[in-house]
Chain A
């Protein structure tokens, strides 16, 4: 079975500071890993994904994440937070098979302080 753990339901950073949102997963098969962002009362937007190949993936809005198999982690980072980054962030995994159901973390709410 697959699972996703996001450490920290709430993260607060100052504008311009480093953003680090943690995600650990468990999977018995090679995982596909995703980070999505959700703004209030909106759907989800893909930030970035890892499927195969390069383990450091770059996404939209300056975000990136590194797949570390040995640590079963896929942490999301951004060097310098912007006020507009305040949102809910979800990490998800699927098994890349025919049943492409996403398994979701509980989400991390990011607050950016001026």
Chain B
């Protein structure tokens, strides 16, 4: 199998604080992980591509300093939302690539900033 675990599944934080979301590939090594943001009733918006041991590649319009991505090992990538504001509230999803044609998705994280 290919299981991707995302944690936490839900988080509520105060405006101005930072939140870290973890994405782990449990039974395979993922050289590439992707981070998406999904607005209600909308499709997935790719935020960045994360490669192990190198800097993430951000999509146009995504603030690098606000959405910090670290891919420190072949099984773990983290997304930190810094100085979160209510407009950052969203559903964040990661996926991991094990080298084949298919991407494997985490369960998603519902972030609510109050």
Q: Do they bind each other?
A: yes
Task: Point out residues on A near B: beta carbons under 8 Å.
Answer: 32, 34, 36, 41-46, 49, 51, 90, 96, 100-102, 104-107, 109
Which residue from A43, A49, A102, A107 sits with its C-beta under 8 Å from B108? A43
> A46 with B102: in contact, given A104-B44, A106-B43 (CB under 8 Å)?
yes
- Find the A residue at minimum CB distance from B59: A101
A90: min CB distance to chain B, Å:
7
A42 to B10, CA, bound (A): 11
Which residues of B sit under 8 angstroms from A106, Cβ to Cβ? Answer: 42-43
Number of interface residues of B (CB under 8 A): 23
Which residues of B sit under 8 angstroms from A102, Cβ to Cβ? Answer: 34, 46, 95, 103
A22: min CB distance to chain B, Å:
15
Q: Does the CB pair A90–B105 fall under 8 Å?
A: no
- Find the B residue at minimum CB distance from A44: B105
Q: Does the CB pair B101–A96 fall under 8 Å?
A: yes
- Find the B residue at minimum CB distance from A105: B43
Q: Does the CB pair A43–B93 fall under 8 Å?
A: yes
